[in-house]
Structure 1
Amino acid sequence: MAASRLHDPDFLDGISQFRSFRDQVLSGTSSMSSFSPFKVSFCHGLPALLISDEELNSLAAPFELALVGKFPGSHPSLESIRNFFFNLKLNGEFSVTVVNKNNVLIKLRNDLDYYRVFTHRSYFVNNCYMKLVKWSPHFDVCVESPIILIWISFPNLRPHLFSSRILQGLGFIFGRPLKIDNATANGTRPSVACVLVDLDITKRYPDQVWLGFETLGYAQNVEMEVSPLYCGHYKALGHSKADCIVLHPHPVVVPAHACDWFSFRTCGSSCG
């Protein structure tokens, strides 16, 4: 069944407009009572509403499959963007709401829709370029998220471990597993198992993992597809910190006769 827009155009679930906090509490629809009372205090020299990590995680859970569409140039109307996603004929419901004039929040309800949309990384909507990034509870419109989709391969995985439960568990070591490829699912390529994982490319990951307990376990090799570069200074995908034009606006030109560290390591000599 083709996707439909969410009946509620807002991105918050279960909150009706024009209702007072008192009405929500008395009707029993509010989840306020399931967490510890708020504490008003000071933090970093500012007045603060202290919210538990448990409650923040609970509030963020409905946005687990949310993306942000960024329009670096011109942007179409909100209705045009909604129609664009509607015409993709997604399987589940979705909503598109405005974050600011250059960013929209795309809230998806289905893992496969999330995989299908996010894999493209960018679209043209009414001839306007839209780049997709992952939403997170720490989302900042000025910062590009380092969370992307990466295929992780497990070469020579033992045949009895080609199980969706085991493969999902392997994916959880690195991030949030989304799917396995068709060859892995069908068992037509027993030489390697592949899992698509939602992960943070700024982190370091092992090239081996241990499978099983000590007696029957073994070290399993891990291979990850080449990921795009991420600049920790500029907070954007596409280049490394070493190549950041903000940090290095004027590239240093090294004379041809100069022997740098790399040439010293490769040739094994110093300049004479």
Structure 2
Amino acid sequence: MEKIRSDTWNVNGFPLVFKPWSPTVIDELNVTHVPVWMLFPNLDPYFWSKAGLSKVASAIGNPICADEHTTNKSKLAFARILIVVDLSKEIPKANKLNTPYHGSLLQSVTYEWVPRFCTPCQNIGHTKDRCNPGKPKARPVYRPKQPVAPRPSGDAETSKSTSPPKEVPQKSPVKKTVATNLSK
């Protein structure tokens, strides 16, 4: 079987992250680099080459590929490029480009989809306004069920008046535990 390298893939427009398995893999999933499809509307014709598109994309992140219409230059309204971006840094809404013909241009950039990213905890899936950085996530702890005492038989009124109340054993307080990484 061919080994799958640790990488981020794009499946149906969403990132799919592969990481090597380890017992602490959940604690190590700090993914900050993801591929994002970026659109460059009304891109100057000077940049409609492989080198030009690479230069435009490299100013934002690591370019992976361009879509078929961009490669074939069949739709010139915008260039669409898949770029690996660092979510821990702000993604620009515009890019300053220099051309030999027009001098300096401000190129707008739009994104098809960017995952929610929390800068304080460096995790994907929520933003900083929903983050609890001081509280680690509690993991469920298995607790066996306590046996249920059988109910007394007979009429409810006679059992109340004739038999003294039974002592109910006190349960020991259950300590809540929080899982911590012991590998350090």
Counterpart of 1:183 in structure 2: which amino acid? H
Work out whether residues 151 and 196 of structure 1, in 8 Å CA contact, stay in contact via their aligned partners in 2.
yes
CA gap 1:119/1:223 in 2 versus in 1, 3 angstroms: closer
After superposition, the C-alpha distances for 1:217-266 in whole angstroms (9 at most, x for unaligned) are 222222123311122333321011211245589xxxxxxxxxxxxxxxxx
2:71 is equivalent to residue 185 of structure 1: yes
Distance (whole Å) between structure 2 residues aligned to residue 188 and residue 216 of structure 1: 24
For these two proteins, the number of residue pairs brought into alignment is 130
CA gap 1:242/1:194 in 2 versus in 1, 3 angstroms: same
Work out whether residues 54 and 63 of structure 2, in 8 Å CA contact, stay in contact via their aligned partners in 1.
yes
- CA drift of 1:133 comes to 5.8
TM-score normalised by the chain length of structure 1: 0.41
CA gap 1:162/1:141 in 2 versus in 1, 3 angstroms: same
- The aligned runs of 1:147-186 (5 Å cut-off) are 147-186=33-72
Aligned to 1:197: 83
Work out whether residues 93 and 110 of structure 2, in 8 Å CA contact, stay in contact via their aligned partners in 1.
yes
- The aligned runs of 1:1-272 (5 Å cut-off) are 83=1, 86=2, 95-96=3-4, 106=5, 115=9, 121-122=15-16, 131-132=17-18, 142-213=28-99, 216-217=102-103, 218-247=105-134
Identity across matched positions, percent? 24
Work out whether residues 154 and 222 of structure 1, in 8 Å CA contact, stay in contact via their aligned partners in 2.
yes
Distance (whole Å) between structure 2 residues aligned to residue 204 and residue 225 of structure 1: 16
In proportion to residue count, which structure has more helix? 1
Q: Please give the secondary structure, in 1, of the residue aligned with 2:64.
A: strand
CA gap 1:171/1:133 in 2 versus in 1, 3 angstroms: farther
Counterpart of 2:56 in structure 1: which amino acid? L
Distance (whole Å) between structure 1 residues aligned to residue 119 and residue 97 of structure 2: 33
Distance (whole Å) between structure 1 residues aligned to residue 130 and residue 72 of structure 2: 42
Distance (whole Å) between structure 1 residues aligned to residue 128 and residue 41 of structure 2: 31
Higher relative contact order (CA 8 A, sep 6+): 2
Work out whether residues 154 and 220 of structure 1, in 8 Å CA contact, stay in contact via their aligned partners in 2.
yes
Unaligned 5+ residue runs, structure 1? 1-82, 87-94, 97-105, 109-113, 123-130, 135-139, 250-272
Larger radius of gyration: 2
TM-score normalised by the chain length of structure 2: 0.58
After superposition, the C-alpha distances for 1:130-154 in whole angstroms (9 at most, x for unaligned) are x5369xxxxx963512100011111
Unaligned 5+ residue runs, structure 2? 21-25, 137-184
Counterpart of 1:244 in structure 2: which amino acid? C
